[in-house]
Structure 1
Amino acid sequence: MIRKIIHIDEEKCNGCGACANACHEGAIGMIDGKAKLLREDYCDGLGDCLPACPTGAITFEEREAAAYDEEAARKNQTEKSAQLFNWPVQIKLAPVSAPYFDGANLLIAADCTAYAYASFHGKFIRNHVVLIGCPKLDAVDYSEKLTEIIRQNEIRSVSVVRMEVPCCGGMEHAVKTALQNSGKVIPWNVTVVSIDGKILER
């Protein structure tokens, strides 16, 4: 059907993510530092995202598009807390500098935690830029890259989620080292998840 729907000019997009936050239906997401219309059928054509865009990258157009699916969009809205805000999420693949890092609450998690703790998305990911890794499998010192991410961007806070197993101590150590080496004073916290999916007191 022909209907009014948003158009995102990637050349103008600065990757700030304001439009993705403003879109109540979850039709917009951030992919490789650029806003993308992920689902035509989630876009209601009302344009809540337009005034949120600081660069004027979003406009309306009339074109052939899937019909707005209000029921699916409403369901997606209730699950929106489980959506990633940034991509890629692997520490090794993530850029050192990206617009979505500025003013971000950074979540650095061991990749097993999302499987061990059932409510991981709702409790930890919401309103966070996410980086994940496994210090044992990657066999790399994350502290150097994390130092540059923290140093080059205006990170608001850092949350670490790790497993209780000894090898996951490498993740916590890398973040602590990165914070020290960055020369910045940023609030940070650590949550430890047990292998049976419980949050442990420290």
Structure 2
Amino acid sequence: MIRRVIQIEEDKCNGCGACAKACHEGAIGMVNGKAKLMRDDYCDGLGDCLPACPMDAIHFIEREAEAYDEAAVLKNKEEKAKAERSRLRQWPVQIKLLPVHAPFYEGANLLIAADCTAYAYAKFHDEFLKNRVVLVGCPKLDSTDYAVKLAEIIRQNAVQSITVVRMEVPCCGGLEMAAKRALEASGKRLPWQVITVGTDGTIRE
């Protein structure tokens, strides 16, 4: 069908992203530092993005385009909102503040994470925190032996698995060792893994 949709002049676009933020339907995305109309059926033709552009790079045109799909736009908004929500399942999160026994430990997969990992790794919530109970600490800043408390948490609760997420820096080795000693001291044999995050925010193999 022929209808009114936006057109973005790439050579004028300065990559500020203001239009993408102004588009309530999610029709505009940023690709290689430039704004781009991602889907015709998300563009309602009302042009909330036009006044947001400081470079006058967006205009209306009449052309062949898919009809505006309000149902698809609403579904996309719901999926984005769901993806952006916090995956945190309990409070507190700091190892030194957590109780030894609590209902949220029962049947839980424990995530023992260094403080810095949540800041260094962009997908921390979705890839690490989702469906796990998190215990956070920094062996360099906390003057305590995590192993003792962690051992009691593992021993006294029906924990299913342990994942340690640490930074590649040497001080994080203390967190990994504390978790390892805690598991040994608990007398249990559980699935166990260690994931190391680099200071550049990537996972180290």
**Does residue 78 of structure 1 match 2:83?**
yes
Which residue pairs with 2:159 in the alignment? 155
Which runs of no fewer than 5 residues in structure 2 stay unpaired? 1-73
Counterpart selection for 2:137 from 130, 133, 137: 133
Which residue pairs with 1:14 in the alignment? none
Distance 1:173 1:121 in 2: 24
Q: Identity of counterpart residues, as a percentage?
A: 62
The answer as to whether partners of 2:87 and 2:131 remain within 8 angstroms in 1 is no
Which residue pairs with 2:99 in the alignment? 95
Aligned runs of 1:1-202 on 2, under 5 Å? 74=78, 76-80=81-85, 82-201=86-205
TM-score if structure 2 supplies the norm length?
Answer: 0.61
Larger radius of gyration: 2
Which residue pairs with 2:69 in the alignment? none
TM-score if structure 1 supplies the norm length?
Answer: 0.61
Cα distance, 1:140 vs structure 2: 1.2
Cα distance, 1:79 vs structure 2: 2.6
The alignment covers a number of residue pairs equal to 130
Cα distance, 1:139 vs structure 2: 1.9
Which runs of no fewer than 5 residues in structure 1 stay unpaired? 1-69
Cα distance, 1:83 vs structure 2: 2.3
| CA offset digits 1:149-171 (Å, max 9, x no partner) | 00000000000000001100000
| CA offset digits 1:47-89 (Å, max 9, x no partner) | xxxxxxxxxxxxxxxxxxxxxxx99x93543334x32001000
